[in-house]
Structure 1
Amino acid sequence: MKKRVQSEIDFLSKLLDESSVINKSHVCCSNLPHFKAIVEIMKQEKDVIAVQKVFMLKQDDKTNRFEVDVVSRNGACWIKAKAMKPEAIQSIFQGNGTFGTKSIVDIAQQLVECASQHYHHFKSPQCVFWFTKGVTEDVAEELNDMGVMVKGKIVDSDTPLQNESIEINLEPITIANLDVTSLIVMVSSVTNGGAHYNFDNEILQTQAEEERKEASLPAINQFLNGKKMIVTQTAWEKFMGILEVIGGDSERQRAQELLQKVTIVENSPSERSKKLKLGPKIKQHHIDIFGTGDQYKASTLTANQAIVRAAAEQGIEFSVFLHPARALTEQKQTL
């Protein structure tokens, strides 16, 4: 966004240098008011995770790019900002816009459809239109009928809309899917009281230092509280293979205790996860593990951000709980 703002400023500065005068039309056609609206929204919204985020929208066998101005509530809310005057929005809404100009309704339809294709924890994100200069009652009612929440004041009224405060009702996730990295972090010596040891290995030493600053397990245990834990057959076999080679006695004991608390399930990846193309970042075992979590409507605990990003780039966004990466350290620790 900074680059876009700077580009607009450079354009207006160039006009000023060349003509000594910037016409009102130049400013009106600028995107700066829109960028200002986005910044205002970011200041007021909670847990903003992306700005001007592009999502893929599939329509009629075609895939188009659709940009969401603000993604907030950790992904549960998609916001489109509108800094136009309500009179102008109303005019376009009534069909008086110039040729090729999309009305609010057209954009809202795309927003809702795109959100339905990109679930956040197995539910479409809440779609919001935020009018920083107000909106007419006609437009607000039409958007509400489409399932789009409206923020902004009705013109000629000092009373904000009833849904001025965005409320997101998420159905709680009841199942947690543990991948290999999460199994390791739960039994590792470094996360179970062994962070005070020193390590010759630079990566292990860094992990120990990070663990001393902020322990990994409290946040993980809080997330797991009250949830059923599942592990795919593939994840457990890979985990046990690693444990047999480099795991210490205490780490192996914790693994056996963990086994009593989880349910091992067969690989049963969801249909949409099967569409992922294999490559350097996505292997079949990733599809088996993350896809099975998707099939069970479970959030997958993982430190593997690369696979999460790679899947998202192909249009598949998994429900995940990310945690720091940790290794099995018991056999490497020294005082």
Structure 2
Amino acid sequence: MVEEAKSRCEAVMNTVETSSLNPSCKRTLLRLIQSELSFLSRFSSTDFPPNPEPSISLNIGHLEAVVHILQHPNISGVSRVCKTIISQPATQNGLQKGAHVDIVCTFDGNPVWFIVSDRNPKYISWHDQQDSSQKSLKNKGLRSKIHLLLEVAHSSVALKPTSIIFFFSNGLDKFTHEKFLNEFKPIDIGSKFSNFDINFSKEIVGEWIDVVSRSYLQASVFEIKIDCPPVTKEPLVTNPIKATHVNINTSFDSLLSQMTSPNNEDYINFDTTALIAIVSGISNGGTQNLLDTPENELKSRFKGNTEFVISQVMSEIKDPIHVDIGNVISGRKVIVCENVFEEFKDLVLMCGGINEKLRAGELLKHVMVVKDNPSIRMMSLPTTRKLALKNKIVFGTGDYWHAPTLTANMGFVRAVLQTGMSLFTFEHRPRALTGD
């Protein structure tokens, strides 16, 4: 049992190390796995006889389940793992309550908390367990834990979820299952996880072998919705830049056609960098012209940004950005807030060439302009150099609409995640206006 558990730890560690998690979350998971390995290293396989019941307490199953969920395709914006969330504000006596949350992220585009259990169902108690003297609490039951989580969730601002998702790897017994359903009325979302399994592998002499292949078909997955204010989705009455006929290149025209979804209720929020990338001469057939331009002329035009522009040209030749953005849009209706709308117009007017201006006019015919209306949780973050008010308004408006933001401004995204708040975004490669 011990050697098997060690191998499982090493396999999960390999999975975490090669994941795209942010550094903070990765460090937390690796620290927990290493702690489990250190604990297991105190024992040998001969310390415990073969037994269907584990004779030492293992946490590796819980960590496997957490990492399993983190790889779900609908999860993004992971900001915290295996942390305690503190209630805000403090209670009247100055105390603050805390609840353990395994994952803070976005799921299906909404901020959520995941609570993960890998325990045998017979050891998941619904009621609190008292010690033999009945004077103190031995273990909190599931009911008390849920009430605490709901209390902390309702009191949170920046980290407030729209729902809490409970993932029981091995299911629940009939009694606990019925109590949970009757008291909290959760939604069964097990179907979203039923076809999602994972293999944990480790490298041995240059080859990867599967150590654990876990199927979570027996898992029980429930979602409890958190009361959130309704979202009013009304476009502004605006007068976009008027454009005359323009001979649009094929990829630009194809991208605009994907943005025409009048009856779609799925939205994507564009920041200014995304709009610039779409109309840039680099993205619209101007790469060879820029490569053919003498170096001294490029330096005169782009000053200290010449190398940055040329790197964008090479990136465009390798991977056209209209294709990438088209894949991200995926039938969503594009929104931009007032702040982005005005900034984009000003930048194109000041730096854009005649073709870039014409493309900007065509592009703005295909977006819906909405009021600057950042979410409460975004505006609860402190305004700092890295968390500038302008960016909080732009990304916060997308958050209010429960829409991902397409951006090249990953510095702001990282700053938000460092606060512990999850944020739903898509990254695109930057493009500059070239005067085309």
TM-score of the aligned structures, taking structure 2 as reference length: 0.57
Provide the rounded CA distance (Å) in 1 between the counterparts of 2:161 and 2:89.
23
Partner deviation per Cα, 1:140-181 (whole Å, 9 max, x = no partner): 1223342164869xxxxxxx87x96889xxx97444433211
Secondary structure, aligned partner of 2:283: coil
Q: Which moved more, 1:105-114 or 1:137-146?
A: 105-114
CA 1:33–1:89 in structure 2 vs 1: closer, same or farther (change >3 Å)?
same
Q: Does structure 2 retain, via aligned residues, the 8 Å contact 1:129–1:149? A: no
Q: What is the match of residue 128 of structure 2?
A: 95
Q: How far off its partner does 1:5 sit? A: 1.8
Provide the rounded CA distance (Å) in 2 between the counterparts of 1:84 and 1:118.
31
Secondary structure, aligned partner of 2:165: strand
Secondary structure, aligned partner of 2:282: coil
How many residues are aligned here?
A: 314
Q: What is the match of residue 67 of structure 1?
A: 101
Secondary structure, aligned partner of 1:190: helix
Partner deviation per Cα, 1:196-254 (whole Å, 9 max, x = no partner): 5538633333333333333332343452745253331x323333343344323221221
Instruction: Give the residue type in structure 2 aligned to 1:137.
Output: K
Superposition map of 1:197-276 within 5 A: 197-198=290-291, 201-221=306-326, 223=329, 225=331, 227=333, 229-232=335-338, 234-276=339-381
CA 1:181–1:94 in structure 2 vs 1: closer, same or farther (change >3 Å)?
same
Query: 1:58 aligned to 2:87?
Result: yes
Q: What is the match of residue 131 of structure 1?
A: 169
Partner deviation per Cα, 1:281-330 (whole Å, 9 max, x = no partner): 11221233233344455543322233233334446545x44231322253
Provide the rounded CA distance (Å) in 1 between the counterparts of 2:365 and 2:64.
54
Instruction: Give the residue type in structure 2 aligned to 1:262.
Output: V
Gaps of 5+ in 2: 1-28, 91-95, 132-136, 194-216, 224-230, 232-263, 296-305
Identity %: 23
Provide the rounded CA distance (Å) in 1 between the counterparts of 2:395 and 2:317.
30
Misfit runs of 4+, over 6 Å: 22-26
Q: What is the match of residue 147 of structure 2?
A: 109
Q: What is the match of residue 182 of structure 1?
A: 274
Provide the rounded CA distance (Å) in 2 between the counterparts of 1:110 and 1:216.
46
Instruction: Give the residue type in structure 2 aligned to 1:276.
Output: L
Instruction: Give the residue type in structure 2 aligned to 1:238.
Output: E
CA 1:85–1:253 in structure 2 vs 1: closer, same or farther (change >3 Å)?
same
Provide the rounded CA distance (Å) in 1 between the counterparts of 2:388 and 2:40.
49
TM-score of the aligned structures, taking structure 1 as reference length: 0.71
Query: 1:290 aligned to 2:395?
Result: yes
Q: Aligned Cα RMSD in Å? A: 4.4
Secondary structure, aligned partner of 1:3: helix
Secondary structure, aligned partner of 1:327: coil
Superposition map of 1:18-97 within 5 A: 21=47, 28-38=56-66, 45-47=72-74, 49=76, 50=78, 52=81, 54=83, 56-58=85-87, 61=90, 62=96, 64=98, 66-68=100-102, 73=107, 78-90=113-125, 93-96=126-129
Query: 1:12 aligned to 2:40?
Result: yes
CA 1:102–1:192 in structure 2 vs 1: closer, same or farther (change >3 Å)?
farther
